[in-house]
Amino acid sequence: MIKVENLIKVYKSQKGNRSFLQDFFKREYEEKPALKQISFEIGSGELVGFIGPNGAGKTTTLKILAGILYPTSGKVSVLGHVPFDKEKEFLKQISFVMGQKNQLIWELPPRESYLLNKEIYEISDVAFQKHLADLIDLLEAKEIVDKPVRTLSLGQRMRAELIAALIHRPKVMFLDEPTIGLDIFAQTTIVNFIKEYQKQFKATIILTSHYMKDIASLAKRVILIDKGQILFDGLLDKLIRSYSREKTLTIILKKSIPAPLLEKFKLPFEYQMPLLKIKAEKTQLLKFMAQYLSELEFSDFTLQDEPIEEVIKKAFRKKP
C-alpha cells in the first residue's frame, strides 16, 4: 500500500548569520539533509504512529507521501502511484490533515466547504449525504457545520476540518498533529474518532503527534524518527518492553519509618511523609516488597509503569 525505499530529502536553505550586503550580492545556500535514506512499508488498513522531536523529519515524510514535496532521491509508492505526479485518481484516495493548517473557508460555514469538496472529489449526492451524516454522527458535529468557521472554537474547528478532509472517504490518511493545541476533552474526541473511523472504514492511517497518549491509544506500530533516520520500526509494546524495565512503587504510609529500617533499604528511594517512592527494575521491586512491606504501616500502595514519554526519551537516547 505504502512503500518507501531509500528516501532522501535535502532542503536548500539560505545561510544565516551573514551581513545584509553579502546576502544581497551573493546569497549562499546550505544543504540540510532532512531525511537520510529511510525505508519502510505500510500495509493496507494499518495505523502507524510517527514519533520524533521537532525537525526529525516526520512532516517531511508525510508531505512526500502525499505528493507535496519532491524527494531528492529514493522510491516512493502510495496506492501504486508516484505521489508527486499528483494524479487525480491518487489524490481522490488520500487525505492530509494538518493540525496547524485549515482548508475550511474562514468566512463561511463548513457546509459550504464540504459542498465544494463534493464537486471537486466527484462525490455523488447519495454518497455525500451518507458520508456527511456518518462523520457528523461520529464527531458529534451537528451544531458546528452551519456556523461560520471564524466563530468556531479550536476544538470545533478541528472536528469540522476532519469532516472536510474525510468527506471523500479516503483510503489513506495522513494526520499531522491533529490534536495540537486542543484541550483534553477535544483531544479525546478526536482520538476516539480516529479509532472508530479506522475500525469502520479500514483506512490506512499514518499519524504524528507530540502527545504520546494519542499515539499509544491509537497505533500498534510506531516508527521512531530522529535527525532524518529511523531509530525503531515495530510494535509499540515491544518498544515499551525493551526500554521500560522500571516501575515506580508508591506507598502511602500511616506511620513514619524508623531510621534504622530506612538505612537497610538498598534501592534508591524518595521519602517524605506520608509518601515513599521507589523507582527500580521489576524484579528488584518485588524483592523489596517481599522483604519490607510487612514491616511498614501503610494505608495504600500503587505500582506504576514508567510514563510512555520517559520510555520514548530513553529510546531516543538509545539506552534501555
Partner 1 sequence: MRKILAIAKINLAQYLVYRLSFVLWRVRVILSLFLTFFLWSAVYQSRLSIFNYSHRQIMTYILLIYVIGDLVYSSRVSDLSIQIRNGAIINQLLKPFPFLHNLFTREVTDKLLNLFFSIFEVGLVILLFKPALFIQTDILTILLMLLAIGMGIVISFFISFAISLVAFWSAEVWGPRFVFMTLITVLSGSYFPLDILPTLFYRLLLLTPFPYFTYLPTKIFLDGFSFQYLGMVGISLVWVVLSYFFARALWRKGIREFSFFGR
Q: How far, in Å, CA of 99 to CA of 209, rounded?
A: 10
Task: Please count the other Cβ atoms lying within 10 Å of the Cβ belonging to residue 142.
Answer: 10
Interface with partner 1 (CB under 8 A), residue from 26, 88, 264, 319: 88
Interface residue with partner 1 among 2, 65, 91, 191 (CB under 8 A) is 91
Three cell numbers written together for 235: 510494535
Interatomic CA distance for residues 118 and 296, integer angstroms: 67
Query: 166 and 95 in contact (C-beta within 8 Å)?
Result: yes
Task: Determine the residue type at 32.
Answer: K
- Cβ 103 to partner 1 shortest distance, Å: 4
Which residue matches cell numbers 451524516?
133
Q: Does 94 bind partner 1 (CB under 8 A)?
A: yes
Residue 140 grid cell: 458529534
Binding mask 280-319 for partner 1 (x = CB under 8 A): ----------------------------------------
Residue count, binding to partner 1 (CB under 8 A) = 34
DSSP tag of 306:
P
Instruction: Please report whether residue 13 would count as binding partner 1 according to CB under 8 A.
Output: yes
What pairs with residue 8 in β-bridges? 73
Question: Of 101 and 318, which has the nearer Cβ to partner 1?
Answer: 101
Question: Smallest distance from the beta carbon of 164 to partner 1, in angstroms?
Answer: 10
- Residue 103 is a binding residue for partner 1 (CB under 8 A): yes
CA dihedral in degrees (155, 158, 160, 163; nearest 10)? -140
Touching partner 1, residues 57-86 (CB under 8 A): 63, 66-70, 86
- Does residue 110 have a cis bond before it (omega within 30 degrees)? no
Q: Does 180 bind partner 1 (CB under 8 A)?
A: no
Among 1, 115, 267, 286, binds partner 1 (CB under 8 A): 115
Closer by beta carbon to partner 1, 175 or else 239: 175
Binding mask 30-49 for partner 1 (x = CB under 8 A): ----x---------------
- Which span (6-14, 209-217, 265-273, 310-318) binds partner 1, by CB under 8 A? 6-14
Closest CB 92 distance from partner 1, rounded Å = 5
Task: State yes or no: residue 108 binds partner 1 (CB under 8 A).
Answer: yes
- In 80-112, which positions are buried (b, 16+ CB within 10 angstroms) versus exposed (e)? ebebeeeeeebbbbbbbbbbeeeebeeeebbbb
User: Residue 165 and residue 146: Cα distance in Å, rounded?
Assistant: 17
Query: By the criterion CB under 8 A, which residues form the site for partner 1?
Result: 11-13, 34, 63, 66-70, 86, 88-89, 91-92, 94-96, 98, 101-103, 105, 107-108, 112-113, 115-116, 118-122
